[in-house]
């Protein structure tokens, strides 16, 4: 019986390494279906798969052969998306998950033992700050948050138990740009992997692996899927990090696989295979096939959408800077931004679609403006084709202390926009009427 499954070893990595990103966005990971010839990747809506015989099943379960056993671990539709994301990011392999938060958990799983430590930017999505400081702490995983505007702060926080450095390319919600090359050099000197949340930038605007990062993580819910219709996450592994004895999950004998050592057996794909064979197997946050299908469809237009997102966001940001009721605007594409020079280096094609601004009237005015918008949707998400608005201090960053909210760029006066792909003039008109309603 011929093997008609999509082999992850063939579809992960970068099969279109000499092609442009737009070509990869359309074609990577999604060859015609080998069983039917269907040009669009089918939705393999199945829990399990038939084995050829008992020897075939044994080889799969021993990881001596790569193939399908159970959709919690691998699924052809999900693998197609993993292949596309690995190709877009320039990675060796990828692991799709049920959400961005699940991606972060599984990304750290092979790295940290109880008592281990990692260094993270303090300018992060509020859910990440809570996950790192609260839930990770219950596992014995400790974090130190630092000001990322000075790259040396990452190095100063490293301890003998530090096993990773974490930051966002573009911070959510503040839009701060981290000096990836400098931080990657610090991580390299310390012999720890640099993990970068590239959700707001996407590979269309920045590829952190090209700047020395070792792992990228995404909420594919956002710009990768792009239509606000599916929750998902992704981990992309560069395949370059040297997993030495400080990372026993990858280098020591795994008793569930008869003493196999992942780094020894799988080399550059050790981290990726571990994410499937242990992370998804034991903790189960698998991406659903339908989610993968929707995200694949959205990813095909990633380059087109990000160009329009950035064009609109820059117009909106420039307009808001002229309004007397607006105290400040934070967008890395503005010359007034402290991140402007770093954005020119790392995001030359646009500074993303998310921006924040503060209102002269503070908390009360911010709440009124959010509620007065008609075209912008008031909801807790970014990265939709539709323009979105929210008051982070009362929603996404509500669980943080006032000090932590201020440090993360989510103070009481802050309004966050995710600028969509509508006509910019219509978005500006909606913001003007809402600003007038909030400030008079």
List, for residues 402-434, the tens digit of each pLDDT value.
887 776 777 889 999 999 999 999 999 999 999
d(CA 110, CA 7): 23
Q: Which pLDDT value is given to residue 184?
A: 98
CB 368 within 8 A of CB 337: no
> Hey, which residues does 282 pair with through a beta bridge?
none
> Hey, which residues does 170 pair with through a beta bridge?
177
The 8-class DSSP code of residue 261 comes to -
Q: Hey, how many other C-beta atoms are within 10 angstroms of the C-beta on 426? A: 12
> Hey, which residues does 349 pair with through a beta bridge?
none
Fold category of 302-439 in CATH: 3.90.1150
* Percent share of the chain, pLDDT over 90: 88
Give the phi and the psi of residue 33 in degrees, each rounded to 5. -60, 125
Residue 3 has pLDDT above 50, yes or no: no
- Can you tell me the mean pLDDT for 296-313? 98
Residue 69 vs residues 6, 234, 265, 287: alpha-carbon distances, Å: 12, 21, 20, 15
Residue 8 has pLDDT above 60, yes or no: no
d(CA 435, CA 370): 9
At 59, the pLDDT band (50, 70, 90 cuts) reads very high
Encode pLDDT of 97-148 as tens digits: 999 999 999 999 999 999 999 999 999 998 999 999 999 999 999 999 999 9
d(CA 287, CA 75): 9
- Can you tell me the mean pLDDT for 366-394? 95
173: preceding bond cis by omega (within 30 degrees) = yes
Q: Which pLDDT value is given to residue 439?
A: 87
At 34, the pLDDT band (50, 70, 90 cuts) reads confident
pTM of the model: 0.94
HSE, CB side, 13 Å, CA atoms: give it for residue 57. Answer: 8
- pLDDT mean across residues, the chain: 93
Q: Which pLDDT value is given to residue 298?
A: 98
CB 129 within 8 A of CB 392: no
Residue 407 vs residues 275, 351, 400, 401: alpha-carbon distances, Å: 32, 21, 10, 10
Residue 7 has pLDDT above 60, yes or no: no
Encode pLDDT of 158-192 as tens digits: 999 999 999 999 998 888 999 999 999 999 999 99
Encode pLDDT of 203-212 as tens digits: 999 999 999 9
CB 300 within 8 A of CB 26: yes
The more confident residue out of 247 and 15 is 247
Residues of the chain with CATH 3.90.1150.10: 302-439
Indicate the length of the chain as a whole number.
440
- Can you tell me the mean pLDDT for 195-199? 98
The more confident residue out of 211 and 5 is 211
d(CA 164, CA 107): 10
CATH of domain 8-111+193-299: 3.40.640.10
At 4, the pLDDT band (50, 70, 90 cuts) reads very low
Distance of CA 159 to the CA centre of its chain: 26
- Strands in 194-197's sheet, in edge-to-edge order, are 93-97, 233-237, 215-219, 194-197, 162-168, 117-121, 142-146
Residue 399 has pLDDT above 80, yes or no: no
Return the beta strands (E) in 269-412 as ranges.
326-330, 354-359, 377-378, 388-390
Buried/exposed code over 353-365 (b: 16+ C-beta within 10 A; e: otherwise)? bbbbbbbebeeeb
The more confident residue out of 8 and 435 is 435
Give the phi and the psi of residue 420 in degrees, each rounded to 5. -90, -155
Q: Which pLDDT value is given to residue 197?
A: 98
Residue 1 has pLDDT above 70, yes or no: no
What element of type H or E holds 163?
strand 162-168
What are the helix (H) ranges across 12-53?
21-27
Per the rule left: phi > 0, alpha: psi between -120 and 50, beta: everything else, 115 is left
Q: Which pLDDT value is given to residue 235?
A: 98
Q: Which pLDDT value is given to residue 15?
A: 54
* Percent share of the chain, pLDDT over 70: 96
CB 393 within 8 A of CB 404: no
């Amino acid at each position: 019986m011929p093997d008609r499954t999509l082999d992850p070893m063939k579809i992960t990595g970068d099969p279109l390494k000499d092609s442009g990103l737009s070509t990869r966005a359309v074609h990577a990971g999604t060859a015609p279906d080998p069983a039917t010839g269907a040009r669009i990747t089918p939705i393999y809506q199945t829990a399990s798969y038939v084995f050829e015989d008992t020897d075939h099943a044994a080889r799969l379960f021993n990881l001596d052969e790569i193939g399908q056993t159970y959709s919690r671990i691998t699924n052809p539709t999900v693998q197609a998306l993993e292949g596309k994301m690995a190709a877009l990011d320039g990675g060796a392999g990828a692991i799709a998950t049920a959400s961005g938060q699940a991606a972060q958990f599984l990304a750290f799983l092979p790295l940290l033992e109880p008592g281990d430590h990692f260094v993270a930017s303090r300018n992060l999505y509020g859910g990440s700050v809570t996950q790192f400081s609260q839930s990770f702490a219950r596992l014995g995983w400790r974090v130190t948050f630092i000001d990322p505007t000075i790259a040396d702060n990452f190095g100063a926080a490293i301890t003998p138990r530090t096993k990773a450095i974490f930051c966002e390319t573009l911070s959510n919600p503040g839009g701060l740009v981290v000096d990836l090359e400098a931080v990657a050099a610090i991580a390299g000197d310390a012999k720890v992997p640099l993990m970068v949340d590239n959700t707001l930038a996407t590979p269309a605007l920045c590829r952190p692996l090209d700047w020395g990062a070792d792992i990228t993580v995404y909420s594919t819910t956002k710009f990768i899927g792009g239509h606000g219709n599916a929750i998902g996450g992704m981990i992309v592994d560069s395949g370059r990090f040297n997993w030495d004895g400080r990372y026993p999950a990858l280098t020591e004998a795994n008793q569930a696989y008869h003493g196999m050592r992942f780094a020894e057996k799988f080399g550059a794909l050790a981290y990726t295979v571990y994410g499937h064979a242990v992370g998804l197997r034991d903790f189960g946050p698998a991406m659903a096939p339908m989610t993968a299908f929707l995200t694949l469809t959205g990813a095909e237009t990633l380059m087109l959408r990000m160009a329009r997102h950035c064009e609109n966001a820059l117009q909106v940001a420039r307009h808001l800077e002229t309004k007397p009721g607006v105290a400040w605007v934070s967008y890395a594409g503005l010359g007034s931004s402290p991140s402007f020079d770093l954005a020119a280096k790392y995001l030359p094609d646009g500074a993303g679609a998310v921006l924040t601004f503060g209102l002269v009237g503070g908390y009360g005015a911010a709440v009124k403006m959010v509620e007065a918008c008609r075209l912008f949707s008031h909801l807790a998400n970014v990265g939709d084709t539709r323009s979105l608005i929210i008051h982070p201090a009362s929603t996404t960053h509500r669980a943080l202390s006032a000090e932590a909210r201020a440090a993360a760029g989510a103070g009481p006066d802050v309004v966050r926009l995710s600028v969509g792909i509508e006509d910019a003039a219509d978005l500006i008109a909606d913001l003007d009427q809402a600003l007038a309603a909030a400030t008079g």
